Amino acid sequence: MARVCEVCGKSTQVGNSVELRGKAKYLGGVGTKVTGISRRKFKPNLQSVKVTTPNGTNKTMRVCVACLRSGAIKKAVRAKPFAVPGEGKAKAT
CA distance 79 to 89: 23
- Identify the CATH number of the domain in which residue 21 sits: 2.30.170
> How many CB atoms are located within 10 Å of the residue 70 CB?
11
DSSP state of 75: B
pLDDT per position as a tens digit, 17-70: 999 999 999 999 999 999 999 999 999 999 999 999 889 899 999 999 999 999
pLDDT of 15 over the 80 cut? yes
Report pTM.
0.68
Report the relative pairing of strands 58-64 and 46-52 from DSSP bridges.
antiparallel
Q: Is 44 a domain residue?
A: yes
Residue type, 10: K
Domain range for 40: 13-70
pLDDT over threshold 80, residue 92? no
User: Other C-beta atoms within 10 Å of 63: how many?
Assistant: 23
Q: What total number of domains does the chain contain?
A: 1
Question: Which of 42, 43, 72, 77 has its CA nearest to residue 57?
Answer: 77
40 in any annotated domain: yes
